Amino acid sequence: RKEVEQDPGPFNVPEGATVAFNCTYSNSASQSFFWYRQDCRKEPKLLMSVYSSGNEDGRFTAQLNRASQYISLLIRDSKLSDSATYLCVVNPGGYQKVTFGTGTKLQVIP
Amino acid sequence: NAGVTQTPKFQVLKTGQSMTLQCAQDMNHEYMSWYRQDPGMGLRLIHYSVGAGITDQGEVPNGYNVSRSTTEDFPLRLLSAAPSQTSVYFCASSSAGQGDYGYTFGSGTRLTVV
């Protein structure tokens, strides 16, 4: 099993739709979790951290399920500008152990 | 406040040539790292540094060297370029905390080795 797994997509959704991505991880001792956004031919940018209690930032909600070892990202009311690749990042502890998923591509269509 | 600055943005090398990718940050971050990104493989850690004078290997260090003489700078050296090193390279930095606070990435260097 890969350390971090994501569905590569693409997820093609209409404007205004709600879309959710999951990311599974194999190391149950993982301590911190993040979602990054990467636009085509650009650098990854931190979107949000993922906490055990879940967190919300506007239209974006991130949740952690430790029992099933996955994190999720929910995007409500999708905008064209949300089109990007979303990377999940898992840190089991230690800088050198941070693992990036290969990303899920989202395409929001008019 | 420029964040993380990488140069050059693009580079074409011939097999066997050497070069240095530059990375500088102005956020006083202790932690800096180099990643390469290849299609379908995610970001892979090459080398990292937890402070000036301290470096260590990541997942794919072969063929690369690093040094950290100052907090601000973390150059990556390709010793003898090979086609397998064709990739997009990202430098990233983070404040102390074992990566708990997320990373700030530079804009990347697209390297082609022919």
Q: Cβ–Cβ of A46/B107 closer than 8 Å?
A: no
| Residue whose pair of structure tokens reads 């470096």 in the numeric block | B55
- Which residues on chain A are in Cβ contact (under 8 Å) with B30? none
Q: How far apart are CA B60 and CA B47, in angstroms?
A: 8
Q: How many Cα atoms occupy the beta-carbon half-sphere of A99 within 13 Å?
A: 18
Q: Could you tell me what percent of chain A has a pLDDT over 90?
A: 75
Residues 6 or more apart whose CB falls under 8 angstroms from that of B80 comprise: B16, B17, B18, B63
Q: What is the mean pLDDT of residues A30-37?
A: 92
pLDDT of residue A31: 84
pLDDT of residue B44: 94
Quick check: A1 pLDDT over 90? Answer: no
Q: Cβ–Cβ of A96/B56 closer than 8 Å?
A: yes
Tokens of B45: 């850690």
Output the CA–CA distances (angstroms, integers) from residue A19 to A73, A74, B20, in the order listed: 8, 6, 42
Q: What is the mean pLDDT of residues A13-37?
A: 94
Average pLDDT, 10 consecutive residues per value, chain B (114 residues): 92 97 95 93 92 93 97 97 97 75 91 97
Q: How far apart are CA A101 and CA B6, in angstroms?
A: 23
Q: Cβ–Cβ of B45/A96 closer than 8 Å?
A: yes
A52 and A71 Cβ atoms separated by less than 8 Å: no
- Which residues on chain B are in Cβ contact (under 8 Å) with A8? 40
Provide the CA B22 distance to its chain's centre, in angstroms.
8
CB count within 10 Å of CB B12 equals 12
Indicate the length of chain A as a whole number. 110
Q: What values do phi and psi take at A96, rounded to 5?
A: -75, -5
- Please check whether residue B42 touches A, CB under 8 A: yes
Q: Cβ–Cβ of A102/B41 closer than 8 Å?
A: yes
CA angle A90–A61–A65, rounded 5-degree value: 50
- Please check whether residue B2 touches A, CB under 8 A: no
Tokens of B71: 């907090």
Q: Cβ–Cβ of A96/B48 closer than 8 Å?
A: yes
Tokens of B78: 């390709």
- Please check whether residue A39 touches B, CB under 8 A: no
Nearest C-alpha of chain B: how many angstroms from A98?
A: 7
Burial class (CB in 10 A: 0-12, 13-18, 19+), A43: buried
- Residue pairs spanning A and B at CB distance below 8 A: 56
Q: What is the mean pLDDT of residues A65-79?
A: 96
Quick check: A6 pLDDT over 90? Answer: yes
Quick check: A95 pLDDT over 70? Answer: no
